[in-house]
Amino acid sequence: MKKISRRNVIRYGLAGTVLGIAGVAKSWDQALLAPTPAEVEGPFYPVADQADKDADMTRITGRTGVAKGEAIIVEGTITDISGNPVADAVIDVWQANAAGRYNHPRDPNPTPRDPDFQGWAVIRSDADGHYRFRTVKPGAYPATKTWMRPPHIHFKISGKGFRTLITQMYFPNELLNEADLLLRNKSPKEQSAMIAKADGDHENLTVYAYSIVLIPAQR
């Protein structure tokens, strides 16, 4: 992997992405769960509001089309470091479409947007801390001339009494994971926590399990 410019290091947050979180994780008692590693928000968080932000990103209310690409389900449980479920957490999710293009005005990727892909969802965990949404597997895209980002989904999770967590979920068995400048900046244990597990199928769709551990606000 060639070096990238200082501007892109800052842009994607390579400097200091693990500051604090690794030290915090080491401070937990052995019986407690390690917090989900934090990651940068990235440059393509949605800037224009939209009416449809429900848990099915493969369709948009008022349109008859279906998003292009492989439809999948992502689900998991949000807990605290003791394993207790976090109910009613706000889960903000955004991602590129199947071609690797975000619905964002500053995305330079020349691949087309998908008018039938929602691209952004804001949902909540249930009483058991569980969440589920339907989407398409995002495509890889060029972050720079020498850096291809692997498929990933962005998460921002807010729960009452907990620190807001921004992180990214990666997919298993992706060759680009090994070279990704953000993911490889994590320890092997942190990488494992950020890579979803293929967990069977539901309605003929692959289910990816991705559970999240939040840090109490007072820590």
Distance CA 140, CA 40 (A): 17
Give the single-character DSSP code of 148. E
| Residue 219 domain-assigned (yes or no) | no
Assigned domain for 218 exists: no
Contact 138, 97 (CB under 8 A): yes
| Residue 184 maps to a domain | yes
> Which percentage of the chain shows pLDDT scores above 90?
83
Note whether residue 99 is domain-resident: yes
Task: Return the closest-CA partner of residue 42 out of 91, 104, 118.
Answer: 104
Instruction: List active site positions.
Output: 102, 141, 149, 152, 154
Query: Do the domain assignments include residue 47?
Result: yes
Q: Where are the alpha helices (DSSP H) in the chain?
A: 6-12, 21-27, 188-194
Is residue 1 situated within a structural domain? no
- In tens, the pLDDT along 176-206 reads 999 999 999 999 999 999 999 999 888 899 9
* Residue 13 falls inside a structural domain: yes
Angle (CA) 44-62-123 rounded to 5° is 50
How high is the pLDDT of residue 13? 55
What CATH number has the domain bearing residue 123?
Answer: 2.60.130.10
CA angle 176, 178, 180 (to 5 degrees): 65
At 101-144, the pLDDT tens digits run 999 999 999 999 999 999 999 999 999 999 999 999 999 999 99
- Mean pLDDT, residues 74-99 taken together: 98
Judge whether 48 lies within some domain.
yes
Task: Give the structural domain span for 77.
Answer: 6-213
pLDDT digit string, tens, across residues 13-69: 554 444 444 444 444 455 799 999 999 999 999 999 999 999 999 999 999 999 999
Total domains present in the chain: 1
Per-residue pLDDT at 16: 45
- What pLDDT is stored for residue 156 in this prediction? 98
